Structure 1
Amino acid sequence: METDKKSDANILKTYLRYLKLERNYSQNTIDAYAHDIAWLMDYCDRESRKPTALQPEDLQHFAASLHEYQVGPRSQARILSGVRSFYRYLLLDGYIETDPTELLESPVLGQHLPEVLSTEEVDLLEQSIDLSKPEGQRNRAIIEMLFSCGLRVSELVNLKLSQLHLEEGFIRVLGKGSKERLVPISPRAIKELKLWFTDRVHLKIKRGEEDFVFLSKRGGHLTRTMILIMIKRQAEEAGLKKTISPHTLRHSFATALLKGGADLRAIQAMLGHESIGTTEIYTHIDTTTLREEILNHHPRNMKKP
């Protein structure tokens, strides 16, 4: 039995190496897949089975067991997606002859439309920042960059000075899977960045951190958690009732582009989405907003005094 466990551990190790070296996934993504497969391995331990020996009915039972452990539908879908990826790898590398997950269904999820901010709400967010504080202008530049460029928070915290081409009006962004894309940067974002740079020169920057655009008061680059806390706190200061995060500003960027008439393919390229299907959620947001506009302003829907 110990040999079997060691064998399973080796399969998992080679799978994670495959994700890193051949799929070029980030460490965060690899950790998420490892977390998904841990659920499967726990199930195999309980049932005294090897993952390579599981049949479709076993995997249906595994999926049902997630519900018994009170895993929510969205998390179940995420785990089962990771399990499917694992079995595709096992098939590709010759560990199994057929994929037992082909008919494995995920729980049905309702359409979740992300919260978005209007331009006026983003302005309120920025105007609420106390610029007399050392981090004030930095935080203003961060919010403007997230909204004007549609960056993921991980892309923002890892943004380097060497990736900025302000004279040409664009930045080079290293996205998921180390894929690089060019994103236009607005004059407003350039202005806020340059004001931040006048404060940045006074920092005592840690060795090796010199090329990061955004730094903490201690001279080190920021983390995603720091940005999340800052934006939530600033939303409270601005009196915004919406639950927002750094990703809200990315959603707001895409929605504003769509409302302005931008092509969906152009939005896909600027967001760095691999699939157009991911970008299409913004068409649902726009349709929802359009419906509200019609209900509020069409003469047939307006209440008579």
Structure 2
Amino acid sequence: MNMDLLRGPAEQLSGQTKLLTLPPSSTPRDVFESSLRDAGVPDTHLREALEAWDRASAATGSTGEYTRVSQMEISDVFAELRNWFQGRTFRVEDSVDVEFGLPLFILGAPNAPDCKASFTMKRTDTRKYDWYAVIFGTGLSKSRLVQQSVSSTFRANTGEIKVLFIPMSVPVEKVTYMVNNVPVGDGIRVDAERAKHIGEPSACMLPPGATLPMGDVAMHYRLSGDSSGAVSNHTYEYKKNLYDYLPDTAQLGLKAFDADLSIKVNVDMTWEASLDYELRSGFDYELHHVVEGHGLVWGAITPPRTSGL
């Protein structure tokens, strides 16, 4: 997601945030690869690092992805990589704190008269946090785990798309990749371990006309046969996919040192949310999952039928 979309006014909500540090074993192989490339590691060196990763993964039976493996397997995988990194360092040339919004959920209301939407997390006595988000570091550096609860309801009116997010900042460093004290490449490194939250969870309305890529249809609401114009209430239960250990990695587009960069994150809901919609009759509606992250947006809306002469 382009973080420039979250520059508008934001509605502050209430919730709890807890930050923890994760070891390098939390980093998926594809994130390991792309982050080293961003940091200026040349392709020839990168291939060697990935070969070391793959050799260790094959020896332990691990896939090298974000999976459940024993501590011994993790130690073997990263011992192999630590050996490869001997004599290789990143010299920090400059550092800047970059602020961004860590998106948790996207809520939209149909672009039809009198339509509204609201989002509420379902509470339980045993669950303290609603989301677990991982901000990945570069290479074998540590990652940041963000645990977040949201106790407020937020709403969207006709045609609005709102993003629930956590205001965050993370140090981004301009680095030189060194091999045996010889400069080999230069790039940008994300120091995820020092990421911090800088405000309460908030809901930001995207600029008018902004669109997000849509995925599969979650639900059809066929109301075009009712010409009364009445508004009806509908509830959609958004549930975590229990068969996914972790969602796919998302990329957040940022800028630092006059360059575009992306921060890699995983965001996972712990259970489910209730989405309540007010829909005006006379239209057919399509509710879609978003392609990246969690959320629902509206697709095609069939206007009221008109009779010809």
User: Shorter-chain TM-score category?
Assistant: under 0.3
| Higher radius of gyration, 1 or 2 | 1
Greater share of helix: 1
Greater share of strand: 2
Structure having greater relative contact order (Cα 8 Å, sep ≥ 6): 2
TM score, norm. by length of structure 2: 0.23
